[in-house]
Amino acid sequence: NFRDYIKNNLETFSRHQVNENDWRNFESHITYHKHEIDSEDSYINLKEQLNDFDAINGTRSNRLFYLSIGPDFISTISNNIKKSSLAADPKKDRIIIEKPFGHDKNSALELNSLLAETFEEEQIYRIDHYLGKETVQNILAFRFGNIIFEPLWDNNHIESVQITVAEEVGVETRGSFYEGTGALKDMVQNHLLQILCMIAMEPPASLEADEIRDRKVDVLKTIRRITPDKVAHYAVRGQYGKGTINGVEAKGYREENGVADDSNTETFVAAKFYLDNKRWQDVPFYVRTGKKMKEKQSYITIQFKPIPTSTFSHSPHQLSPNKLIINIQPLMDIRLQFMTKKPGLTLKLKPVEMVFDYFACDEDTPEAYENLLLDAIIGDLTLFMRSDQVEEAWDVVKTLQEFWENNKEESFPNYEAGSWGPDEGNALLDRQGHHWD
């Protein structure tokens, strides 16, 4: 039954058509083990089953434990794996842990030290699926595989950076999980900060996993910490009320299953971060994410500074700043906006775009999880989070998290489903003369 279940799912979801011969070969390797996570015997049985398999095949196979499970169960599983010596070979045995990795900095520290009792750091694969997205990985190639962008990649040339991950979906069937999580922990602490790291990191000396992860940790360390008295100045939280999305009526968050009538959980966050290092001093990094927003759209905008003295500074020439837009999803492209002469008898300027579009390429684009699971199988840690990365990321959001938990937001719900979030999210940029793209 389990094999059939896998085959049905492959046929439904795979990008490729299932080849019957390949499938028959593959399915002979699939077995099912019924497991109780708190029963020591289950782990012993599993080990025996794996040992038998190894004996038949004359090998010691790799073991990859994939924990897509609430953080509360991780200690039980990890301790039992240790007791049963199921993952005793640091070169062959690995564990994948899904987010959320803990629920704050302290719990992440505890989880890391608990895992360290059973696993070497090189065995631990902490997933952030945004790092597996083609468009996010491409930031590295775009920045460091070209000579023309990197000289402009600093506070002399860049005015601001925006990162938006807007979702059309609400909390769906996950209301009770989301009630205890909220957008800050669900999206900002991980996905948005990881994207920010890709944009802001210094060039790594090589593509070694630890070299890249070191450069990302450097970024997280330099993000200026927001103090409790400045929370309202640097960040905005929102919660959706009812509204309309694509002409269809949408429930408010408090009407979702598993959600409290007076919930204080945020479904929207906008925040402004500064990085205290030479390259990024004084450049605001705006991040924004929300559920039940107007459209599903994830993108990064790098807005360049205005030209200091311009040949075209007098009206009627309206100069738009140069922008580089990296669309992560559902559009997958890179757009460079620049000014050109509008064809005609008079000299007027207009902005145009130069576009690299993934969908125009012949190559087949893998899903984020395809990349990540394959990397975990072959033992490449580059796209996974190291313990210090997760801890620093929690540290970045710590004050917002504590302040918001301890101070109820009386204006909730403060944005309509199907909108771009609360007005305060726009005001965060307006006061510096910036606007969300």
424 makes contact with ligand BG6 (CB under 6 A): no
* Closest CB 178 distance from ligand BG6, rounded Å: 7
Q: What six digits make up the tokens of 220? A: 């997280």
User: What residues between 341 and 370 interact with ligand BG6 by CB under 6 A?
Assistant: none
Q: What six digits make up the tokens of 395? A: 């540290």
92 SS3 class: coil
For ligand BG6, give the closer residue by CB, 105 or 291.
291
Q: What six digits make up the tokens of 339? A: 């000014």
416 SS3 class: strand
For ligand BG6, give the closer residue by CB, 2 or 369.
369
Q: Give the CA diameter of the chain.
A: 84
* Closest CB 190 distance from ligand BG6, rounded Å: 7
- One symbol per residue from 99 to 118: x for binding ligand BG6 (CB under 6 A), - otherwise; what is it? x-------------------
User: What residues between 83 and 102 interact with ligand BG6 by CB under 6 A?
Assistant: 99
Burial 340-368 (b: 16+ CB within 10 A, else e): eeeeeeeeeeeeeeeeeeeeeeeeeeeeb
> What's the CA gap between 266 and 183, in Å, rounded?
6
Q: What six digits make up the tokens of 297? A: 């759209």
Which of 167, 256, 375, 416 binds ligand BG6 (CB under 6 A)? It is 167
Q: Which residue is nearest to ligand BG6 (CB)?
A: 186
Are the C-beta atoms of 179 and 266 separated by less than 8 Å? no
Which phi and psi (to 5°) does residue 336 adopt?
Answer: -110, 120
412 SS3 class: coil
186 makes contact with ligand BG6 (CB under 6 A): yes
- One symbol per residue from 15 to 54: x for binding ligand BG6 (CB under 6 A), - otherwise; what is it? ----------------------------------------
80 SS3 class: helix
* Closest CB 96 distance from ligand BG6, rounded Å: 14
Are the C-beta atoms of 177 and 267 separated by less than 8 Å? no
* Closest CB 196 distance from ligand BG6, rounded Å: 16
For ligand BG6, give the closer residue by CB, 161 or 165.
165
For ligand BG6, give the closer residue by CB, 86 or 270.
270
Q: How many residues bind ligand BG6 (CB under 6 A)?
A: 3
For ligand BG6, give the closer residue by CB, 265 or 322.
265
* Closest CB 99 distance from ligand BG6, rounded Å: 6
For ligand BG6, give the closer residue by CB, 93 or 186.
186
Catalytic annotation, residues: 191
Burial 273-284 (b: 16+ CB within 10 A, else e): bbbebebbeebb
Strands (E), 79-121: 93-97
Please give the residue ranges that form the binding site for ligand BG6 (CB under 6 A).
99, 167, 186
